[in-house]
Structure 1
């Protein structure tokens, strides 16, 4: 099953975030609305409590004997004040931003029976207490919902960040791999896999710098320039496919023959160069050249050609060549000397090269 790319994932995450933010906005708005309702309910209940205090006074004076004029006057005043409190409560209820049952108009008159006024007050108290509890529960529920939504959105954002970092790291690895492939291709021969001329000269400069800084025990470096004698006849006689197979096979033998610290490179066509570091004597260079010649002969014999041999020119720095940049050119010139003198051999560059 294909894995979704970064664009669909980012789109889905953005959509979830937008929906989440919209839900949060609606919840926050509802919380503010519920809090306003709570405050209004609180005002109504305060008005109910004030009316209830006056009702308690009226109830305490209700059974006053008719002859007790002072208490009867106090009772009438209490009834008038209760009616006023109920009228104020009625006005507050009718101004409520939410639908609520109003007080009966008959309960607002001082002449109304105390029982009817008291019943209306009890009904109002019961209703608005229920509204207070409902609003409080609604606020708690919405706050809990907001907290859960924030946790979910945080998880989404964290997941998107982790996914983005993972994709970024993966993309970087891919780009690094492509960059390494390009770098390898720019420094190696595509057919044989050997280093090319550019990599050879970079390695030559590194070896010369290491020699100059005293990082190596040896005081000399050398280049062996190798030309395959008779290779053109392989292409002409057997075709380029056989010629390519020969180059690949002989390159494989070169890699197996050279020492670990040395580098064999394909300069172009049927020409190769070997950079030798840390050698002890000309005899060691001669032994290396003989092994290279043997590699060419063994490859030729294995493929049944009886055509290809090798001519090798050897130049060393600083004893024979005083400028390491001329090592390859000096070894190339010496190789042509070998070809003119019969081929299939090697020779050292003169000290004046």
Structure 2
């Protein structure tokens, strides 16, 4: 369609250029006809002057001199007229020059009746020719106007089409950009946010808390799956991947929509709790996460996997939110050293609670 539109545009421009050229050509012809008619009027005036001297009643030397001068002026006018007519760029009737043996209408001794016939014929032809050229100019100007309107409409349609294609391509690129951004911030297997997305969400939550001068607290629960390596070694990576996908769905359904569940890597997960009041809420969340692991393990008939969870909160237990994930990771290792399958707060004054 675009190629056809461009071809139509080129053809229209060529046609427009041709019409404009013909308009100028017809205008030149029209002006040339006007020049010829002006010369015919001058010749006709000289003819009338010669006729006046022919009918002067007194036969004298002055009359003869006047006749000679009037005839000579008429001959000059007719010669000039003939040169102009014979030089016409269009196919116009030519005026024959005077011959020595037979004086023509251009000769000073020519019959005035022949001159009258010559002038009448030339005047009639060139008046008609000027009218034709004027009509041609009007018609071609109309064609030029219609062509300009058509080309403008075509350009407008092409512009609208181009804008539509640009908008469509922009939407496609925006969609692809969103897909790329989603892929860069999410785990491809489980669909959970990755470490990069978790850090960005933690940063946003801390900035929002600071901007709103809020009193709510932020926490991170770091989850490590105990015994998961044995699943991959004994049952294969396919079963291990299925377990990760299933437990990820369970994790996501066990927390609030405002909280963020992320896969840190391998068999490690983290939950960002954007707001809580007491540690009991965090203990409840940790219990639900551990229950998810146990339930998924039982449903798949594995009997090997449990969870160790480290808990760190800001600003109570950690005074810098940027250390929350690392502190929760350290607390998780407290659980592993205490027998696994439980949770522990980062506060060194508390002992790991095991289930």
1:315 paired with 2:307, answer no
| 2-structure distance, mates of 1:211, 1:109 | 114
Which whole-Å CA distance do the structure 2 matches of 1:137 and 1:32 have between them? 13
- After the TM superposition, which of the residue ranges 99-108 and 201-210 deviates more from structure 2? 99-108
One of 74, 93, 98 as aligned partner of 2:85: 93
Alpha-carbon deviation of 1:98? 2.5
Report what 1:299 is aligned to. 296
Q: Displacement of 1:55 after TM fit?
A: 4.3
Shift of 1:317: 1.6
Deviates more, 1:170-179 or 1:13-22: 13-22
Which stretch shifts more, 190-199 or 27-36?
A: 27-36
Q: Residue 51 in 1 paired to residue 43 in 2?
A: yes
Are 2:170 and 1:172 equivalent residues in the alignment? Answer: yes
2:222 to 220, 225, 240: 225
Q: Which stretch of structure 1 is more off in the superposition, 291-300 or 94-103? A: 94-103
Quickly say closer, same or farther: Cα 1:263–1:117, change in 2 above 3 A. same
What corresponds to 1:345 in structure 2? 342
Report the secondary structure of 1:278's partner residue: strand
Q: CA deviation at 1:82?
A: 4.2
SS in structure 2 of the partner of residue 313 of structure 1: strand
Give, in whole Å, the separation in 2 of the partners of 1:298 and 1:146: 82
Match of 1:331 among 310, 328, 331: 328
Out of 115, 118, 140, which is 2:116 matched to? 118
TM-score, normalization by structure 2:
0.85
Deviation at 1:351, TM superposition (A): 4.8
Indicate the larger mover: 22-31 or 220-229.
Answer: 22-31
TM-score of the pair, normalised by structure 1 = 0.85
Structure 1: segments with no counterpart, 5+ residues? none
Using the alignment, how far apart are the partners of 2:73 and 2:59 within structure 1?
18
**Structure 2 gap segments, 5+ residues each:** 99-103, 351-355
- Quote how far apart the aligned CAs of 1:44 are: 0.8
- Within-5 A mapping of 1:64-213: 69=59, 81-104=73-96, 105=98, 106-213=104-211
- What is the alpha-carbon distance in structure 2 between the residues aligned to residue 33 and residue 171 of structure 1? 48
Counterpart CA distance in 1 for 2:111 and 2:282 is 131
Q: Comparing 186-195 with 53-62, which one deviates more in the overlay? A: 53-62
Q: CA RMSD in A?
A: 2.9
- Residue of structure 1 aligned with 2:34, choices 42, 49, 53: 42
**Mean Cα displacement is larger for which, 161-170 or 292-301?**
161-170
Deviations 1:161-216 (A, max 9, x none): 33333333322222222222221111111000001111111211222222333443
- 2:174 and 2:187 map into 1 onto residues whose CA distance is 21
How many residue pairs end up in the alignment? 342
Match of 1:250 in 2: 247
